[in-house]
Amino acid sequence: MTGIPTALIAGSGALPAHLARAMEAAGTPFLIAQVEGYEMAGAWHWPVETFALERLALLFDLLHARGMQRVVLAGTVHRPRLEPERIDPRTAQMLPRILPLLAQGDDGALRAVIALFEEDGFEVVGADAVAPGLQPPPGVPTAAQPSEADRRDAARAAAIVVALGASDLGQGAVVAQGLCLAVETLPGTDAMLAWVADVAGACRPDPKGAKGVLCKAPKPGQDRRVDLPAIGPATVEAAYRAGLAGIAVEAGGVLVLEPEETLARADALGLFLWVREP
């Protein structure tokens, strides 16, 4: 095998399996360490080590023993509620640094975790380092193209996402005819689009006007090695059910899972995908 031995620290969702497949195809030695209480999708044919956040120091020992040199964090993990009785002595020494940052929000918690891995000698890399094909180049690769109204809606949605990110909230928004129909919060993109499909359709002033755009982008100042927003075929289908014209994602800041299938679904449903320069 070739490449730098890499530990995949996995939360829930589809992204960890995509990264594991990319490393497997590239011949990169890797180990999957699954956060206890979360389950990555599609991990059935790889061995998985499960670890508790209360015993993070023991995870570091395991990764060193297995020869891991890099770490990539992927998947969803909500801010944990730690159980004091499970904390080992070495992890307990880390807590005075971790706990204040956990209270600062998701970005603070992620920065704390990255720092701990780096101080223990691991290089922390982003998803693009192990699966560069998940970030498409700027442009509109779909048959459908955004109209001028769609472009205005995308710009408005992008500005809203910037405002959300400044408050450490979500990474997505839906705008139609200049009106914000929904913003992404803790339940995520799928829940936001389901709400738009069920409720927000009647909010469009002109039933024959612009259908609306989903915009996804990272938070301003976000460490792009972790928690990048992602879309995939399911996002395209949810946007279609929500009656939208298409999806705009920030170039270099959003992962497109199963890119070929995502584009195929968009073309089949008549939606555009715009990889938009910020």
Q: What is the DSSP string of 168-227?
A: T--SEEEEETTEEEEE--TT-HHHHHHHHHHTGGGG-S-TTS---EEEE-PPTT--TTS-
Query: 193 with 234, same domain?
Result: yes
Query: 74 with 39, same domain?
Result: yes
CATH number of domain containing 191: 3.40.140.80
Domain count, the chain: 2
Residue 1 lies in a domain: no
Single-letter residue type at 34:
Q
Query: 57 with 148, same domain?
Result: no
Query: 210 with 232, same domain?
Result: yes
Taking residues 205-220, report their average pLDDT.
Answer: 91
pLDDT for position 277: 93
Query: 24 with 142, same domain?
Result: no
Residue 104 lies in a domain: yes
Please give the mean pLDDT across all residues of the chain: 89
Query: 108 with 158, same domain?
Result: no
Query: 164 with 70, same domain?
Result: no
pLDDT for position 107: 59
pLDDT for position 201: 66
pLDDT for position 227: 79
Query: 48-51 and 30-35: which strand pairing?
Result: parallel
User: At which of 107, 132, 157 does a domain end?
Assistant: 132
In angstroms, rounded to a whole number, what is the distance separating the alpha carbons of residues 265 and 271?
8
Query: 118 with 184, same domain?
Result: no
Query: 69 with 198, same domain?
Result: no
Model's pTM, two decimal places? Answer: 0.86
**Tens-digit pLDDT profile for residues 157-170:** 999 999 988 777 78
**Tens-digit pLDDT profile for residues 73-112:** 998 877 666 677 787 888 878 777 666 655 555 556 677 7
Full domain range(s) for residue 161: 135-276
Q: Is the pLDDT of residue 185 over 60?
A: yes
pLDDT for position 70: 96
Query: 259 with 174, same domain?
Result: yes
> In the structure, what pLDDT confidence band is assigned to residue 22 with cuts at 50, 70 and 90?
very high
Query: 233 with 186, same domain?
Result: yes
> In the structure, what pLDDT confidence band is assigned to residue 208 with cuts at 50, 70 and 90?
confident
Q: Is the pLDDT of residue 187 over 80?
A: yes
Residue 128 lies in a domain: yes
Taking residues 222-234, report their average pLDDT.
Answer: 87
**Tens-digit pLDDT profile for residues 35-71:** 888 888 887 789 999 998 888 889 999 999 999 999 9
| Tokens coding 192 | 């936001």
CB contact burial 181-220 (16+ within 10 A = b; e otherwise): bbbbeeebbeebbbebbeebeeebeeeeebbbbbbbbbbe
User: At which of 93, 113, 132 does a domain end?
Assistant: 132
User: At which of 132, 154, 189 does a domain end?
Assistant: 132
Query: 164 with 85, same domain?
Result: no
